[in-house]
Amino acid sequence: MTAQPVPTLYDWAGGIDRIRELFKAFYTRVPADPILGPVFAHMPADHFETVAHFVSEVLGGPKLYSGESLRGHSTMVGEHLNRHLTQEQRRRWVSLLLETADDLKLPDDPEFRSALVGYLEWGSRLAVLNSTATENPVDPSAAMPRWGWGEVKGPYTPD
């Protein structure tokens, strides 16, 4: 008997359609949120699509983000420079996104949610850290991070 390959987090979540649905629903809620509304007040209406493409790729999906216009991890980091995000905003972003995932009935098994929360915590903390910088610390040629079932597979290495 041949062992079945382990699905990516992207596949487990339901692929691009479910991830796009998650971020579209999430960003629909953001304007009314007193903590996040001001942060995203000037985001374009299709912002959810960009984030869905980025997160899909990080979770093991196709190159929907880095395959477009030579974007990569440094591009996303660059979007957060000089925004001075707070821990309160970061925590609310994560909690509202997870509430949205629950409402949409994304997989809620402990293994998937643990991996998802791990990525959201890692990524949102990087966003806050980089939001105080004025220069992008990520080399434009750096590979996209790839998140798996409990470990990161990518360019990030702590100093």
The whole-angstrom separation of Cα 152 and Cα 122 is 10
> Please, is 94 exposed, middle or buried when counting C-beta atoms within 10 Å of its C-beta (0-12, 13-18, 19+)?
middle
* Cα distance between the two ends of the chain: 44
What pLDDT does 135 receive? 76
Q: Which residue has the tokens 């105080």?
A: 132
Entry pTM: 0.84
Q: Which CATH class is domain 9-152?
A: mainly alpha
pLDDT exceeding 90 applies to what percent of the chain?
47
pLDDT in tens, 64-93: 877 766 666 655 655 665 577 899 999 999
Reported as a pLDDT band with limits 50, 70 and 90, residue 159 is very low
| Residue 107: strand, helix, or coil | coil
What pLDDT does 156 receive? 47
Spans of all domains in the chain: 9-152
